[in-house]
Amino acid sequence: MAVGIERIAAYPCTLSLDMRTLAEARDHDPNHPIGELWVTSRSLNPVWEDPVTMAVNAALQVVSPADRDDIELVIVGTESSMDFGKPMSTYVQRFCGITANCRNFETKHACYGGTSGLMMAAHWVASGAAPGKKALVVTSDQSRMHLGQPWEYVLGAAATAMLVSASPDVLELELDKTGYWTHEIFDTYRPTSMKEVGHADTSLYGYLEALEGSYEHFIRKVGPIDYDEYFKKHVYHVPFGGMTFRAHRAILRHWREMGVKPAREHFERKSKPALVYNSQFGGTYTSATFIALMGLIDSFPELAAGDRVSMFSYGSGSCSEFYSTKIGPHAHERVAATRLQAGLDARLALSVPEYEAVERQRMSLVDQPDYVVEKTGLHDLYERVYAGKGRLVLDSVEGYQRNYRLS
- Say how far residue 217 (Cα) sits from the centre of its chain: 24
CB atoms within 10 A of CB 195: 9
- β strands within 274-400, DSSP E: 308-315, 319-327, 348-349, 371-372, 392-398
State yes or no: is 79 an active-site residue.
yes
- In 108-246 the beta strands, taken as DSSP E runs, fall at 134-142, 157-165, 171-182, 188-189, 197-198, 233-235
**Inter-axis angle of helices 260-270 and 241-255, nearest 10:** 110
DSSP 3-state assignment of 58?
A: helix
Catalytic residue list contains 111? yes
237 is catalytic: yes
Order across the sheet with 392-398: list the strands.
Answer: 371-372, 392-398, 401-406
Out of 6, 49, 72, 79, the active site residue is 79
- Is the Cβ–Cβ distance between 208 and 247 less than 8 Å? yes
Residue type, position 330, single letter: H
Sign of the alpha-carbon dihedral angle for 54, 58, 61, 65: negative
Burial class (CB in 10 A: 0-12, 13-18, 19+), 226: exposed
Q: How many Cα neighbours within 13 Å face the side chain of 210?
A: 28
Q: What is the DSSP string of 147-180?
A: TT-GGGGG-BEEEEEEEEES--SSEEEEEEEEEE
Q: How far apart are CA 16 and CA 358, in angstroms?
A: 11
The residue from 13, 96, 111, 319 that is catalytic is 111
Which phi and psi (to 5°) does residue 284 adopt?
A: -125, 10
The residues with which 325 forms a beta bridge, in sequence order, are 173, 309
The residue count of the chain comes to 407
Distance CA 303, CA 328 (A): 10
> Which of 72, 152, 172, 237 does the annotation list as catalytic?
237
Whole-number Å distance between alpha carbons of 94 and 102: 11
The catalytic residue positions are: 79, 111, 237
